[in-house]
Structures are given as structure tokens and as C-alpha cells.
Structure 1
Amino acid sequence: MKRPALSSSFKRFAQLTVAATAIALAGIANAQQVFRVSAIPDEAPTELQRKFKPLGNYLEQKLGMKVEFVPVTDYAASVEGLVNKKLDMVWFGGFTFVQAKIRSNNKVIPIVQREEDEKFRSVFITASPAINSLADLKGKTFTFGSESSTSGHLMPRSFLLAANINPDADMKRVAFSGAHDATVAAVASGKVDAGALNISVWEKLVSQGKIDPKSVRVFYTTPGYYDYNWTVRSDMDPALRKKLTDAFLALNPNDAQGKEILDLQRASRFIPTKTENYEQIEKAARNAGLLK
């Protein structure tokens, strides 16, 4: 029996349906090609966005996919975002990397760090002429940065404890500013007698003229320790992870694009890193009672 011929309108409908399906599938594929990046909020959100934009453009060129910066509300959100696969790569401090490692059951991988992060340091600052050493902090008011900050809390606390100063027992009051630049502002305004932050943010604020080192000064600089890194999940496609790592390692201060990115990241260059580099951070966190 001969089948009835399809009407031209039905054929047109079928063609449109196929085309619409193809477009929808293409849209899904493109959506899956967004590489989502975030960073611990250790500075103001506008500053983090400004620092990332040239790096994001560069990574788009190297990866061949859209790169999107996703701001987070706090340090814990950066950890949860990566562990729960809402983020693909995060700029962690050493302590937040350790937290992510434990939270994910060792399913995150640090790929690169700045050369400066091999021997990173924290500075203790004050505007008070009566404070010239860690011992002088007894009985004073003090602020750390974020509770989950390596250079703004964990390591400064660790070095205080090593100097036989328990911040919670020996100081008049201990606060958490939430970010390094907020710590500087709290000290400069007289809200607290002293505070601790990472040396990189301190040097940036001084160089930009946003703080007068004669009125707010460094009175103690810690020994060096491993700190910040770029971390990805261990289930990332190895080819993509290599492409990403190579992109960071290829950044060159001798070309205009590389110099802009490295300057904004406050880096001389990026170098490979590994989980073992952060064992000192994990030990310090456990000794300070910040990891159970």
C-alpha cells in the first residue's frame, strides 16, 4: 500500500524541529565548555575581579573555552565550590588548600604556585609606639584576617604560639577582619592596636600610597612558609590539566601580556607545586587546633 506523501508544511515543521534540537544541543555543549574559576576572598571583590580579568582572557586563548570568574562569599565557599564541582579551579591559600584536600578526601591537586609562595611571609603591623615585638602584644587588641587565612591567621597564630603567646588568653581582644586590606584599615584607624596580614598585600598597599609606613609600620616579619596555589579537582581531564599548567608556566615577564598578568598576580613567575609542599601548613593547623 502506498504511503501518503508528507505535506510541505509538515516537512518544514520537521526541518525546524531538527534545527531547533541541533541548536539546543550546541547550546548545552557550549555551556559545558565554560571553565569556572574562583579565589579565596582575601581582598575586596572588585580587586579580585580586576586582578583576574587579564589572566582569564589569556586562559581563554590557551584553553579554547570561555573562562568565567565566579566570586564567593567566604573562604569556606571556595572549598565547597571546588569539592562540589561548581568550580573547576580555585586560587587557595595554603590552609584552604589543606581544608579542600581533607574535605574532598584527597581529590584535589595543586598545579602551580608563584615562585614567591615557596617562602611566603606574614607581617605584624601597628600604629602604636609601645609595640615593638610579639611580646608587646600581651594585653593589647589584635586582629587577624579571615579565620581560614593562611597568611592572615594560621601562620601568624602559629608563630605567636611558638613565642609563648596565646592570642585568646594573653591578648585583651582578638578580632577577625575578614581580609588583608581590612586588617590594615583596622590598624590604621585605631580600632585595634595591631594586626597580621600577608606581606604581598602590605607591600602593594605601601607601593600604591594607600598606607603611610611611617604611621603604620611592620614590627615583625615571620619566617618563610609555602602558601598560595592554583588548585583543580583530581577528576579533571589530564590533557586539560596539562594545558592549564603549561599556560601558567609559559607566562613570561618579558612580553607585554605576560608582564601585565604577572604584575597583577604579584608574581615573578609561576612554578609547579605539589601536595607535599603543604604538609607544614597542615601540621601547624593541627597544632593550633584549627583542624580536628
Structure 2
Amino acid sequence: MRGWLRGLAVLAGLCGLAGPQASAAQGAAQDPARAAAKPFVFTGIPDQDESRLVERFGRVATYLEGKLGVPVRYIPVKNYPAAVTAFTNGQVQLAWFGGFTGVQARRAVPHSQAIAQGAEDAAFKTYFIANAAAGLGKGVDFPKGIAGKTFTFGSRASTSGRLMPEYFIRQAFPGRTPEQVFERVGFSGDHSRTIQLVQSGAFAVGALDYAVWELDVKAGKVDPKAVSVIWESPTFPDYQWTVRGDVDAAYGAGFTEKLRAALVGIADPAILEPFGRSKFIPVTNAAYDPLIEVGRSTGLLD
């Protein structure tokens, strides 16, 4: 265990397929055998704006259908707890979870497995960002100057936008909760929204997924004169693909390993780039044990 590690819910509305239908249903309709097969359904936590999610997961659905030989459908959800509940209830068989939501889902569904993560997820980071008017510069050490300012997390169940930032805040200000450290605490709901709120000055400081920051910078959505990164956190395990333990019984022996191989085999930049990942690599549940400890230490996990 690294030294720094020592020291969520009724479904909020499982939406129908969004906008341009995010599935590979057309291919199934053209193949009677495939159309007769039980659809394999997946979801992902809504950590970015909806249009980006539909693009990202629609491409994954098309790719997986070609590899798995069954109809594959992506179903969007409204928030992080809804993704966990959809997985728990068996409404989806696979989910792209954050580290913390993955822990929650696997604890609720026996024998479920984390099977693949982004290469970057083994050593993920949180960025603390600040509005220029806050007068905070970038430094190596935790920015204790954020105390007394307004602060926004991302989703309440986000790993890089809530769990780990809260852990670091509590470590920097022993015995104090975020509500005691800051003038006002908010929850933006997703990482892109965190950037928007801090950039606009609605909040002076925020914490978010570093990969979303980089994607939004690349997309020209960040005004460097208005908002900047003031601290990069130590690394921690984060996002992963988690599959239910009953998929082999439903889709045939070896299906889980076939799915893992398909995910790890993704090489198309058009699929990887919307994730902000260079590739996917195999992973196991044990990689996320540190987050269980952090969740308990912050009171966010029983």
C-alpha cells in the first residue's frame, strides 16, 4: 500500500437510447441469427457531456458487436448512482465505471469482475483547478490557500472528482470536513461541468479528472486566462470495465474472456481518443482495493 493511502441508490432514470441510436442494432437486424440472440447491454458513468458520451459508447457498441457475435446496445444513464443500480439490477451486463463506482457495483453483485482499464487508469490523477480571480498559482505541494474559498467537486460518487479530492483535503486539514474548510461546497455532476463552473467564477476552486481536463483543453473549451491547474494529486487506480459474474451462463462459456480480449484489443484511435486513453489493458478487482480503504477512511463507504 502506498504511503499516502495509509495515512449511491434508486435508479435515477435509465434513459432510452440517446439521439442517434447508440447501438449496433442495424447489423443485428440484417443478420437473423444475431438478431435472435440475447442483446448484450452496457452503460457508462456520465462523466462528460452527453454528446461526447454518445459518440464514445456508440463506437464501442459497434466494435463489440463485431467481436462478440451478439447484438450490443449502449444505454445511457442520468447519473453515477444510476449506472451502479442498472448494473446491480441486471439491466446492463457491463459498465464503464470510475474506480469508486466500480467498487460499489462489485460489492453489490457477487462474482462481478473488473476486466480492463485504460493504460492511464493504473496511475490516475486529480487536478485541482482555480479561477484566475482566486489568485492561486500552481505548486507541487497541496494548495492550502484554497481554504475559505468556494469549492466544487464533480459527482458525489466520482473517484477523481470526489473520493480522492476529499481524501486529500482531509489529509491537508486534519479533523476538518470539506464543509468546514471551504466557504461553500458544491457538486457539479460531471467533470466538464466542473471546468465550466470554475471558469465562469461560480466557484473559485474545483477538482476533476485530469483526462477530461486534457480533452476539453484540446477541444478548445478551456480559457487559460480564466482557469488553470494549481495542483496535480498523487496517483491512484481509477476507471475500468466491470462485467457481471453471470454473463458466461447467459452468453456461453468463455464469454467473459472473449469480452476482455475484445476490450484489450481495441486499437482504433477513433474509439480510444474520446476516452482519453492510449489503450485498454487487463485488470483485476484487487487493483482497486486501495479505494476501499480510502472510501472507509472518508466515511463514503461502509
TM band (smaller chain): 0.7 to 0.9
1:86 Cα shift?
A: 0.6
SS across alignment from 1:102: helix
1:268 Cα shift?
A: 1.1
Q: Pick from 151, 154, 168 the counterpart of residue 160 of structure 2.
A: 151
1:91 Cα shift?
A: 0.3
In structure 2, C-alpha distance between the alignment counterparts of 1:109 and 1:261, rounded to whole Å: 23
Structure 2: gaps (5+ residues): 1-31
1:251 Cα shift?
A: 2.0
Give matches, 1:14-33, under 5 Å.
Answer: 30=35, 32-33=37-38
Contact 2:154 2:208 in 1 (8 A): yes
Q: Deviations over 1:203-234 (max 9, x none)?
A: 01111111122321000110111000001101
- Scaled by the length of structure 1, the TM-score of the pair is 0.85
In structure 2, C-alpha distance between the alignment counterparts of 1:31 and 1:142, rounded to whole Å: 51
Structure 1: gaps (5+ residues): 1-26, 253-257
Note if 1:282 corresponds to 2:285: no
In structure 2, C-alpha distance between the alignment counterparts of 1:269 and 1:28, rounded to whole Å: 31
Letter of the 2:211 counterpart: S
Instruction: State the number of aligned residues.
Output: 261
Note if 1:175 corresponds to 2:186: yes
SS across alignment from 1:195: strand
Q: Deviations over 1:165-194 (max 9, x none)?
A: 631111111000000011011101111111
SS across alignment from 2:247: coil
Q: Pick from 271, 275, 283 the counterpart of residue 265 of structure 1.
A: 275
Contact 1:144 1:176 in 2 (8 A): yes
CA RMSD after TM alignment: 1.8
Give matches, 1:125-144, under 5 Å.
Answer: 125-127=129-131, 128-132=133-137, 134-144=143-153
Contact 1:134 1:160 in 2 (8 A): no
Match of 1:116 in 2: 120
Give matches, 1:33-72, under 5 Å.
Answer: 33-72=38-77
Match of 1:12 in 2: none
Q: Deviations over 1:225-271 (max 9, x none)?
A: 1000001101111411111111112223xxxxx12112222211111
1:28 Cα shift?
A: 11
SS across alignment from 2:95: strand
Q: Pick from 229, 242, 255 the counterpart of residue 240 of structure 1.
A: 255
Which protein shows a greater Rg?
1
Q: Pick from 192, 203, 209 the counterpart of residue 203 of structure 2.
A: 192
SS across alignment from 2:96: strand
Q: Pick from 264, 284, 292 the counterpart of residue 249 of structure 1.
A: 264
Letter of the 1:266 counterpart: G
In structure 2, C-alpha distance between the alignment counterparts of 1:94 and 1:176, rounded to whole Å: 18
1:159 Cα shift?
A: 1.1
Q: Pick from 238, 241, 244 the counterpart of residue 230 of structure 1.
A: 241
| Regions of 4+ moved over 6 Å | none
- Scaled by the length of structure 2, the TM-score of the pair is 0.82
